Amino acid sequence: MKKISSILIILGILLTMNKVVYADTLSDYQKQLEAIKLEQQATTKKLTGLDQEIAQDLYDMMDLDSKMVTFSSKLGDLQKRVDEVNSKLTEQEKALQNSAQSYNSAEEVYITRLRVIYENGIPSMLDIFLSSESISDFFSKINVLTSILQYDKSLVNNMQTQKEYIDYIKNNIEIQKVQLEQLKYDTEKSSNALENAKTAKENKMNEMKSSQTTLKAKAQALAKQETEASKKIQSEIEKMLDSGGSFSGQFAWPVPGYVIITAKYNISYDPFDLGIYTTHTGVDIAGSGISGSKITAMESGTVTLAKYYGGYGNCVIIDYGTSTADGNKYKSLYGHAERLNVVEGQKVIKGQTVAFVGTTGNSSGPHVHLELYKNNKRVDALSYFGGMKFVYR
């Protein structure tokens, strides 16, 4: 008898040691999964920032393209103006040449007149009177002399006017040339600046797209790592869940008074928008004022886990043993509890409070993450409460 007792004690110690090994391994996997999720969050944040920056740069490049089209149009208009001014310059240069020739001709006539006046002098009234044959001849010569003097005066004035006109044309030509050169310089400078800005934007865009590709590859690798870590965790949980016992097969709802379902079992979603989908492993139960509410045992059984478990937060697992109704083994998991009300190895009865609703672990708000296992495989817990009405949100 003592020998049998000793054997039982040793077996108990070995089983306890085995459970500790499982717990330590599971804890390591949970830490690994937590590290992966943190890195995923950081990667997703960087990707989101890059997406926004790329979108802004695309908008900026469209704006630069629009401005370059505008400046190209301005350069086209400027070329037309250059052609028009060159045409005017050609006409004005011809006019300038004609004016210069007229000026030179007038200058020759004027110099000749001065030479004649210098050599012969201007005749006096007496000289004209004495040289006249009659009174009518006298007045005729006076009229000729007056006409000559008026012509000389007109010649001088005309020469001055032509000289001023020539100077004006020269100045106008020079001013237009300077204005055109300045306008061409400013337009080409602006166009070059826009081209450089666009090139810089394109280089930056290529760098960001390269970073985006790298980050997406990293996110995909992390998603695969998350899947592998989750499989390891599930395997360890399955090892820990088996504690024996039996029950009638009729479960009690674990969160009395709350029937709002915010996430169904086995739904697929793409958290990082990378074409890699994650499956929801349980049922999320929530509702107004649920925080701090009681979480109760769905049936009588043994607590095989009661501690903080990474993404699950404060977590309780209860093994109910074998159902006398269908002969299958059942266990349940409650995640994200605010605090626990049981310890590992504790026997609990149906309806007993095992924890209180919270938002620990990977949780977006107060709720209970419920998982039901049938023969160590997850099943839809809601299918075992056919008589209840749920609100899906």
Q: Give the span between the Cα atoms of 308 and 305, in whole angstroms.
A: 9
**Residue whose pair of structure tokens reads 């009729």 in the numeric block:** 250
Q: Tell me: the pLDDT tens digits for 343-383?
A: 999 999 999 999 999 999 988 899 999 999 999 999 999 99
Q: Give the span between the Cα atoms of 364 and 293, in whole angstroms.
A: 17
Does this model's pTM top 0.85? My answer is: no
- Phi then psi for residue 280, to 5 deg, are -70, 130
Q: Class for domain 12-239, per CATH?
A: mainly alpha
Given this chain, do its domains 12-239 and 242-393 carry the same CATH topology? no
Q: Tell me: the pLDDT tens digits for 121-146?
A: 556 666 666 677 777 877 777 777 67
Q: Domains of the chain: which residue ranges?
A: 12-239, 242-393
pLDDT tens-place values along the chain, 393 residues long: 333 333 333 333 333 334 434 445 666 776 787 788 788 888 888 888 878 888 887 778 788 777 777 777 777 777 777 777 777 767 766 766 766 666 666 667 667 766 665 566 556 666 666 677 777 877 777 777 677 767 666 766 666 676 677 677 777 777 877 777 787 777 777 777 777 877 887 887 788 788 888 888 888 888 888 788 777 766 765 555 455 567 777 899 999 999 999 999 999 866 555 666 778 999 999 999 999 999 999 999 999 999 998 889 999 999 999 999 899 999 999 999 999 999 999 999 999 999 999 999 988 899 999 999 999 999 999 999 988 999 999
| Number of neighbouring beta carbons within 10 Å of residue 36 | 21
**Residue whose pair of structure tokens reads 């095992």 in the numeric block:** 354
| Number of neighbouring beta carbons within 10 Å of residue 27 | 16
Q: Give the span between the Cα atoms of 20 and 17, in whole angstroms.
A: 5
CB 348 within 8 A of CB 300: yes
The CATH code of the domain at 242-393 is 2.70.70.10
Q: Tell me: the pLDDT tens digits for 238-271?
A: 555 455 567 777 899 999 999 999 999 999 866 5
**Residue whose pair of structure tokens reads 């998991």 in the numeric block:** 333
Q: Which of 152, 147, 153 is nearest to 139 (CA)?
A: 147
pLDDT recorded at residue 45: 85
